[in-house]
Amino acid sequence: MQTQVATQAHNLPLLATPSHCANKTFIVTGANVGLGLEAAKHLASLGAGRVILAVRDVTKGEAAKAEIEGGLQGKAGGTGVVSVWQLDLESYDSVKAFVKKAEAELERIDAVIENAALAPSVREVVTVNGEGVAAHVKAVTVNVLGTLLLAVLLVPVMRAKAAKLKANWEEGNFEDGVQRLVIVTSRGAFDDNTKGMWEKIREDPIKGMDAEDMFPVATYPLSKLATTFATRHLARVIAPLDQNGSGVIINLVCPGLCITTLGRNASPEHAERLRNLHKNFGRTAEDGSRTLLHAAVAGPESHGHLLHSCVDGEPDLPDWVKSDFEEQKHTWEVIAKELEAIEPGCVSKL
> Which are the catalytic amino acids?
220, 224
Beta bridge partners of 52: 27, 83
Of residues 161, 182, 173, the one with CA closest to residue 298: 182
| HSE-CB for 79 with a 13 A CA cutoff | 5
Rounded-to-integer distance, Cα 97 and Cα 151, Å: 14
Of residues 107, 116, 101, 105, the one with CA closest to residue 36: 116
- Which distant-in-sequence residues (6+ apart) come within 8 Å of 305 by Cβ? 251, 252, 312, 313, 314
Side chain identity, residue 274:
L
Of residues 131, 184, 209, 135, the one with CA closest to residue 291: 184
Q: DSSP secondary structure string, 181-208?
A: EEEE--GGGGSHHHHHHHHHHTTSHHHH
Asked if 114 contacts 99 with a C-beta cutoff of 8 angstroms, the reply is no
Rounded-to-integer distance, Cα 6 and Cα 1, Å: 9
Strands 82-86 and 178-184: unpaired
- Which CA distances in Å does 232 have to 250, 302, 314, 324, 331? 8, 11, 12, 10, 10
How many Cβ atoms from other residues are within 10 Å of residue 276's Cβ? Answer: 11
* Cα angle for residues 106, 348, 161 (degrees, 5° grid): 20
Crossing angle of helices 219-233/325-342, nearest 10°?
A: 100
